[in-house]
A = this chain, B = another copy of it.
Amino acid sequence: MDEPATEVRKRLTEVGGRTSQDLGLGRIVGQILVHLYLSPVEQSLEDIAKDLGLSKAAISIAARQLESLGLLRRSWKPGDRKTYYRTADDIATALHQGLLMLVRNKMSLLATELKQAEGELKGLGPDAEFVLGRVKRAKKLRDTAMSVLENPVVRLLTRVK
């Protein structure tokens, strides 16, 4: 091993892979992101592929995902046809906002669904009345959760420094 930090890099890269997999993006996305985050220099597609032991195709696809999420930047060097990659400068903010957005979307879908159910259940008789009660309870829960997310105090706290 040339670099003494190789072992640590490898381990943290795996952590990134697991994490992004948990979020429903593949493991490769997380691996690339951490790998770049821990690299002092920009890396080409081939560099990344070699370091992670994956095919260029896989890296290519995942890299585009990362770029569309605003977590990764491409760059070029004069007289060099390769594309180089590095993590976005505001990666912390991007991560933070991305996660929030994800949660908000889910929540909002849920809200739509609950509201619609509520409407359809009115005046259908006793069984529907029961379901309606449950739906209302669920709606209240969702509203509480949402109000926390949107609360100014929480926003202040979660602001990335």
- The minimal Cβ–Cβ distance linking A87 to chain B, given in whole angstroms, is 9
Q: Which of B4, B131, B161 contacts A9 (CB 8 A)?
A: B131
Q: Which of B11, B22, B131 contacts A113 (CB 8 A)?
A: B11
Report the interface size for chain A: residues with CB under 8 A from the other chain. Answer: 45
Contact flag A8-B134 (CB < 8 Å), given A3-B127, A145-B158, A157-B148:
no
Does A66 sit within 8 A of B, measured CB to CB?
A: no
Contact flag A134-B24 (CB < 8 Å), given A12-B113, A153-B153, A158-B145:
no
Does A37 sit within 8 A of B, measured CB to CB?
A: yes
Give the residues in chain B near A7, CB-CB below 8 Å. 120
Number of copies: 2
- The minimal Cβ–Cβ distance linking A146 to chain B, given in whole angstroms, is 11
Does A125 sit within 8 A of B, measured CB to CB?
A: yes
A87 nearest CB neighbor, chain B only? B134
Does A15 sit within 8 A of B, measured CB to CB?
A: yes
| Those 10 A-B pairs whose CB atoms lie nearest each other, nearest first | A4-B124, A5-B128, A5-B131, A148-B157, A40-B130, A8-B117, A3-B127, A15-B113, A38-B131, A4-B128
